[in-house]
């Protein structure tokens, strides 16, 4: 399955808000740690090496 | 003069003047330079095959210091073929459980003994001097039984020339210099290999900017026989990581990762080391039990290898050819695999049964293994010593998630422990015509299997084996002057079927002297077997 870069979130504004609220009150280092944990959890959920490589390429572009 | 560079733990081969020192240079089929574990194992393997071999070492025995302490199952299997595994197993400490901590938190534990039905455990811990001594003891026993092995202590090689068809060595001794000629030379002279420098060969790779302090501590403590590893240890002065691991003789290996900018001399002050060890022991037991410092050392490391391991008539093996970080115990263990790869090939070529081309396969096979070891060891090092803020953030994220989520535990990397490499896609390999298990595919080391009272690997001889499972293989087969030993087995279920048949009803395996699999088929085919054997000895 290729990386899905088409709109896929049912409530984009709502999700964005939740993401920012997760970081509220955190220091820079705490936020970076949270982001790192979040990335690892999501990557494991995807669990497809080719999709993850595509995502890394898309993020780096 | 031959300088003494280190103290001796066991004086096993004192200098003896030999008549060759007064004569014209004598030609030897194989000369091994360096009497460490790799050189001695090579000598034992060749000598037991009946090929005359001379070992030159610039000291008179085994150096002090525990150094390499983790010896893998594959190393024990090789030592078993060479006749010295029982002594190692009897002396060594067996362990299966590893615990990983992050600060004061216990993150998780793992058990190495995932599978039953192997003669040897995944690992034993044994001080390197014992490991070396057991090999030399077996060399002495083999010599008594007629094996053509000679060891010369305090023989320092100071010069080397490659001629047409042989190598000339300049050798320094307490009685002055002499010359030796060799058809083939195996350089097992360690990470700083003087022979490599004499030949002007490079040793490229990656240096890691970190210092590790080893403290071997002698004490009677009732810690369990487990490997304990701390990331960011909670005890004072422990550095970025710490390790506690048991050795024989009530000795505990304690390792502290000190970082890059340290004063090595100050850190080796026994009072300073004791303060560190005290803090660690007190954190674990609440008190400081009496102990002695047995051996201490600070080391740094690099991950690097030579571009190729064969240069004309000179072969490089062990640390002389490749160097890895200690995480994963891939140094001495991979060096042993170098020698077992080379010994049977040299033996066949010296007997005129295989062409020189067979020796060309040594470098690509062992470079392939070295790259696998360097990759694993570099990845472990990057996890242990994050090189940037973001890599540290990810590392600590993995450690934190590992406490509650199983998915993160396989990412925790305090060293991926040494397993033998599979020579996938390399030139000596024959066809993989069986729909069999991946673990016993062409290029892999034969997995061990219990057979009656014994084990499969003990049924494989010194030479080539043709294994038939649930299908007939001929009682004898000779190709290119090489007699293949048949082994007829049957299996309906159990480990042999699981490890060698998978879904296939029957199988034929052709196996090398180093127990790597050459080819496999569903049924015996005479022409295919002969063709695969010719290929495996460099003739096709």
Work out the average pLDDT over B489-515.
Answer: 97
Q: Which residue of A has its CA nearest to B405?
A: A41
Alpha-carbon gap, residue B222 to A3, rounded angstroms: 53
Interface test with B, best of A28, A35, A44 (most B CBs within 10 A): A44
pLDDT of the residue at B440: 98
Most distant CA pair in chain B: distance in Å?
72
Is the pLDDT assigned to residue B352 strictly greater than 70? Answer: yes
> pLDDT confidence of B171, banded at 50, 70, 90?
very high
The percentage of chain B sitting over the pLDDT mark of 90, rounded to a whole number, equals 82
pLDDT of the residue at B115: 83
> pLDDT confidence of B210, banded at 50, 70, 90?
confident
Alpha-carbon gap, residue B257 to B267, rounded angstroms: 12
- Any CB–CB contact under 8 A between A32 and chain B? yes
pLDDT of the residue at B114: 66
Cite the beta strand spans of B219-291 per DSSP E. Answer: 227-231, 241-247, 251-259
Measured in degrees and rounded to the nearest 5, phi and psi for residue B539 equal -100, 0
Residue B470 CA: distances (Å) to CA of B220, B494, B496, B504, B508: 53, 14, 11, 10, 9
Please indicate whether, in this complex, the C-beta atoms of A40 and B393 are within 8 angstroms of each other: no
Q: Which residue has the higher pLDDT, B187 or B387?
A: B187
pLDDT of the residue at B524: 98
Interface test with A, best of B394, B405, B406 (most A CBs within 10 A): B394
Please indicate whether, in this complex, the C-beta atoms of A36 and B397 are within 8 angstroms of each other: yes
Is the pLDDT assigned to residue B439 strictly greater than 80? Answer: yes
Q: Is the ipTM of this complex over 0.90?
A: yes
Per-residue pLDDT reduced to its tens digit, B249-271: 999 999 999 988 899 999 999 99
Per-residue pLDDT reduced to its tens digit, B82-122: 999 999 999 999 988 889 999 999 998 888 776 889 999 98
Asked if B261 contacts B210 with a C-beta cutoff of 8 angstroms, the reply is: no
Domain B438-536 has CATH 3.65.10.10: no
Residues of A in contact with B398 (CB under 8 A): 40
Per-residue pLDDT reduced to its tens digit, B370-427: 999 999 988 998 898 888 999 999 999 999 999 999 999 999 998 888 889 999 999 9
pLDDT of the residue at B414: 87
Q: Which residue of A has its CA nearest to B402?
A: A37
CATH number at B8-92+112-203+304-364: 3.50.50.60
Please indicate whether, in this complex, the C-beta atoms of B397 and A44 are within 8 angstroms of each other: no
Alpha-carbon gap, residue B415 to B403, rounded angstroms: 19
Per-residue pLDDT reduced to its tens digit, A49-59: 999 999 999 99
Alpha-carbon gap, residue B363 to B411, rounded angstroms: 32
User: What is the overall mean pLDDT for chain B?
Assistant: 94
Q: Which CATH architecture has domain B206-300?
A: 2-Layer Sandwich (3.30)
- CA-based nearest distance A29→chain B, Å: 8
What ranges do the domains of chain B cover?
Answer: 8-92+112-203+304-364, 206-300, 373-411, 438-536
Chain A / chain B CB contacts < 8 angstroms: 30
- CA-based nearest distance A25→chain B, Å: 18
- CA-based nearest distance B384→chain A, Å: 17
């Amino acid at each position: 399955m290729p990386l899905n870069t088409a709109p896929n979130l049912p409530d984009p504004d709502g999700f964005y808000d939740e993401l920012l609220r997760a970081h509220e009150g955190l220091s820079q280092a705490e936020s970076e740690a949270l982001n790192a944990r979040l990335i690892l959890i999501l990557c494991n959920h995807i669990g497809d090496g080719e999709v993850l490589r595509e995502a890394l390429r898309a993020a780096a572009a | 003069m031959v300088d003494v560079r280190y103290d001796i733990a066991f004086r096993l081969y004192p200098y003896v003047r030999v008549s060759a020192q007064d004569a014209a240079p004598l030609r030897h089929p194989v000369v091994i330079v360096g009497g460490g574990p790799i050189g001695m194992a090579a000598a034992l393997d060749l000598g037991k095959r009946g090929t005359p071999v001379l070992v030159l070492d610039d000291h008179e025995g085994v150096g002090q210091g525990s150094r390499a302490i983790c010896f893998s199952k594959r190393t024990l299997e090789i030592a078993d073929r060479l006749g010295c595994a029982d002594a190692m197993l009897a002396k060594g400490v067996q362990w299966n459980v590893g615990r990983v901590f992050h600060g004061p938190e216990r993150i998780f534990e793992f058990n190495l003994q995932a599978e039953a039905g192997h003669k040897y455990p995944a690992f034993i811990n044994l001080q390197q001097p014992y490991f070396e001594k057991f090999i030399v003891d077996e060399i002495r026993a083999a010599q008594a039984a007629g094996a053509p092995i000679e060891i010369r202590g305090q023989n320092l090689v100071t010069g080397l020339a490659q001629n047409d068809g042989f190598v000339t060595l300049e050798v320094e001794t307490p009685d002055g210099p002499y010359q030796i000629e060799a058809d083939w030379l195996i350089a097992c002279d360690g990470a700083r290999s003087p022979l490599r420098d004499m030949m002007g060969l490079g040793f490229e790779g990656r240096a890691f900017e970190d210092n590790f302090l080893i403290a071997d501590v002698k004490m009677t403590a009732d810690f369990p026989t487990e490997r304990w590893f701390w990331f960011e240890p909670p005890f004072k002065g422990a550095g970025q990581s710490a390790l506690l691991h048991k050795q024989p003789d009530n000795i505990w290996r304690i390792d502290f990762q000190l970082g890059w900018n340290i004063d090595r001399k100050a850190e080796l002050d026994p009072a300073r080391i004791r303060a560190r060890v005290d803090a660690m022991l007190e954190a674990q037991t609440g008190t400081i039990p009496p102990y002695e410092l047995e051996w201490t050392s600070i080391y740094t490391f690099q991950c690097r290898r030579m571009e190729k391991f064969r240069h004309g008539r000179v072969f490089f093996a062990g640390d002389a050819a490749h160097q890895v970080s200690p995480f994963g115990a891939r140094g001495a263990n991979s060096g042993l695999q170098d020698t077992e790869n080379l010994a049977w090939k040299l033996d066949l070529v010296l007997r005129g049964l295989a062409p020189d081309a067979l020796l060309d396969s040594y470098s690509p096979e062992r470079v392939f293994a070295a790259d696998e070891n360097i990759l694993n060891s570099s990845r472990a090092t990057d996890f242990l010593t994050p090189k940037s803020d973001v890599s540290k953030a990810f590392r600590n994220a993995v450690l934190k998630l590992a406490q509650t989520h199983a998915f993160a535990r396989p990412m925790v990397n305090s060293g991926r422990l040494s397993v033998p490499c599979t020579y996938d896609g390399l030139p000596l390999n024959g066809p993989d015509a069986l729909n069999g298990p991946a673990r016993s595919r062409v290029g892999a080391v034969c997995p061990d299997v219990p057979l009656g009272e014994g084990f499969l690997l003990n049924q494989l001889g010194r030479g080539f084996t043709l294994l038939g499972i649930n299908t007939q293989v001929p009682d004898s087969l000779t190709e290119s002057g090489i007699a293949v030993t048949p082994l007829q087995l049957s299996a309906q279920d159990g480990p042999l079927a699981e490890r060698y048949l998978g879904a296939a009803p029957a199988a034929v395996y052709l196996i090398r002297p180093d127990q790597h699999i050459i080819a496999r088929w569903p049924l015996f085919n005479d022409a295919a077997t002969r063709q695969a054997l010719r290929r495996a000895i460099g003739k096709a």
